[in-house]
Amino acid sequence: MAEIIDGKQISAQIKEELKQEVAELSAQGRECCLAVIQVGNDPASTVYVGNKKKACAYIGITSQAYELPEETTEEELLSLIEKLNQDKTVHGILCQLPLPVHINEDRVIAAISPKKDVDGFHPQNVGALVIGQKGFVSCTPAGIIQLLKRSRIEISGKHCVIIGRSNIVGKPMALLMLRENATVTVCHSRTEGLADICKSADILIVAIGKPRYIGAEYIKEGAVVIDVGIHRDENNKLCGDVKYEEAASAASFITPVPGGVGPMTIAMLMHNCVEAMKLYS
Ligand code: GUN
C-alpha cells in the first residue's frame, strides 16, 4: 500500500516558513503586497481567489482585490495592469484565468511585468525556465517538485511520465523534471499506447483532466503517482484523475485528492510573492 504524500501538511509547513520570513521583513519595514484581479464571477474562480486572499492574510501578505464586472473591456483590464505595474507598493499581480471570451488572455499575461508575474505565465519567465535561467515558475508544477523533494523522493535519473501538455502544468512540469535530471516523457490526448508508456514511469504525473481515468493498468509496481486533477463526481464528492484505491495498491507514494497537489499551488504562489518583493523592491 502506497505512502500518502500529504500536501496539506507540506503546504502548511511552507506557509509557516513564509509567515516567519514575512514577519522578519515586516520588522524591517518591508511589506509584501499581492494584487488579485478577477473578471466576472465564475464560481470556481471565486473560490480560488478567496483561498488566495485567505492565504495572504494568514502569511501576512497584503492583498488588494480587484473584482471587475464581466463586461470589462480588454483595454480597461490592460490599463489596470499597467497601473499596478507602476505601483511600487505592489509586488505581485495575479489575474485569475479563465478570462471572459472577449478578452485575449495572451495579451493580458504579456502585459504583466515579468518581475510581478507571480503565476509564472509571462513568456519571459517561461523562456527563462526553458533555458535554465532564474524566473518565476508556474505554481502547480513548482509545488509538485516541493512535494517530491520534501518527501525525499529521488528524481535524478528516474523516468518521469507526464500526462498533459498545458502551458500551466504539463510543459513547465516537464522542464522542471528535466532540471532535476529526470528522463522525461510527455504524453497527451493523442498519445498512442498511453498505458504502456505510463507503466514504464518511476514517477507518473497525471493532469489529463478526466475524473478517475488512470487505473492499475497504467501504474508500475512501486511507482510514485502525482494526481493533478480535481473534479466532483456524481455524488458531489471530490476526486482526481486517478482511481485512487487501485493506484494506491500498486504505487509506493501517492497524492490524495483533495489534500495533495491542490494546497501546494497556493503555497507556491505565496512563495513567489515573497520572492518578488525580496528581489525587486
Ligand atoms: N486558473 C486556474 N489556475 C490558475 C492559476 O494558477 N493562476 C491563475 N491566474 N489562474 C488560474
**Residue 257's domain is classified under what CATH number?**
3.40.50.720
C-alpha cell at 271: 512563495
**Does 255 lie in the same domain as 150?**
yes
275 in a structural domain: no
**Same domain flag for 90 and 143:** no
Classify residue 61: in a domain, yes or no: yes
* Domain, as residue range, for 149: 139-262
The three three-digit cell numbers of residue 197, written as one number = 508508456
Is 148 part of any domain?
A: yes
pLDDT, residue 73, reads 98
Q: What SS3 state is found at 185? A: strand
Residues 232 and 175 in one domain: yes
Is the domain of 105 the same as that of 158?
no
Q: Are residues 99 and 158 in the same domain?
A: no
Which residue among 46, 49, 96 has the greatest number of ligand 1 atoms within 8 angstroms of its CB, and so is best to mutate? 96
Q: Do residues 116 and 269 touch, judged by C-beta distance below 8 A?
A: no
**Residue 194 shares a structural domain with residue 246:** yes
Count of domains forming the chain = 2
* Residue-wise pLDDT tens digits, 42-54: 999 999 999 999 9
Q: How far apart are CA 276 and CA 147, in angstroms?
A: 22
Known active-site residue 124: no
pLDDT, one tens digit per residue, over 2-23 is: 999 999 999 999 999 999 999 9
CB of residue 96 inside a 6 A radius of ligand 1: yes
Residue 5: inside a domain: no
Q: Reply yes or no on whether 96 is catalytic.
A: yes
Is any ligand 1 atom within 6 A of the Cβ of residue 94?
yes
- pTM for this structure? 0.97
